[in-house]
Amino acid sequence: METAYLHSFLLVVESGSMSEAARRLDLTPAAVAQQVRALERELGAPLLARAGRTVQPTEAGHQLVQRGRNLLREVSDIKALLGSDAAGGELLVGTINTAIHSLLPDILAHFVKAHPGAKVFLQSGTTATLHKALAQGELDAAVCLHPTFALPKTFDWSLLREEPLVLLAPSRLARRDPHELLRTSPLIRYDRNLGGGKQADRYLRAAGIVPQERFELSSLLAIAMMVDRGLGVSIVPDIASPLLEGQRIAKIALPLPSEPRRFGVLWLRASPRLRLIEGFVDSAGQVSGGKRTSRRSAATWEAQKSRL
């Protein structure tokens, strides 16, 4: 089977149009149609059917879509493993939303300079979903939080930032006592299903503060904007994002000790794309100043965290 023809078929399915697939491939629609017909002849089944102005996969086409994607992925893995794709290659990177709005654009800018032929596909999600996808081989690397459990030896980890909890408050309240603000102001909660939200909740419990809850959401940038509008205060990880610049907010240190949010890159050690992954991790370290943490240092941190 000609993998280029399979790639054309998948693009047609993805875009719903021969013309759009042809545009992406820099081919004529007639050439793409010819490739799909050749694939149909080889497989002995119709793969596409016209539906109005678009085309849709037939029953056989639907069956081919997922297996075809897996097949192209396997071919790409073989090329990466054998070094025939040294000038380029594909990298599937999972990322939490915080990274998209902070370090990730600079990491990618550094990475594509060092690997100009590489293609990077991004998939956003929570740390838990990204870790699962990584373990199942659906991702090459993930920019995420350090999992709450000990990492298996099949994984490697590079710490980029440790982000302490801070109180976000309108700038006019910057000199007020943070615990007083938490007791008297409406609270904009960081989602308790996320690592940083769980840390904030533990802090409130440790401080004996029962807040006046007003909102709960998962976007740190939206929380900052709501604080700027005077809708309340919030306990959040101290993220590094240029999008916070210009917001009329103050980051106030909290009186009680708390564990920082550990933010970095996670990947499988035995990946066939290890060369590109290492390049991505190196770029992340250049941008953040981060270094790979040893398993001993990670274990030490877990022991310290259990005493907090």
Interval 79-102: pLDDT, tens: 655 554 445 578 889 999 888 888
Q: Which pTM value belongs to this model?
A: 0.65
CA 298-256-308 angle, 5° bins: 35
Angle between helices 18-25 and 29-43 (to 10 degrees): 110
Tell me how far the alpha carbon of residue 180 is from its chain's centroid. Answer: 36
Confidence of residue 307 (pLDDT cuts 50, 70, 90): very low
- Res 77: pLDDT: 63
All residues at 6 or more sequence positions from 270 whose CB lies less than 8 Å from its CB, including other chains: 154
pLDDT, tens digit (0-9, with 9 covering 90-100), for 7-41: 788 888 888 888 888 887 788 888 888 888 888 88
pLDDT value at 248 more than 60: yes
User: Residue 155's Cα: distance from chain center in Å?
Assistant: 17
Closest by Cα among 162, 164, 156 to 292: 156
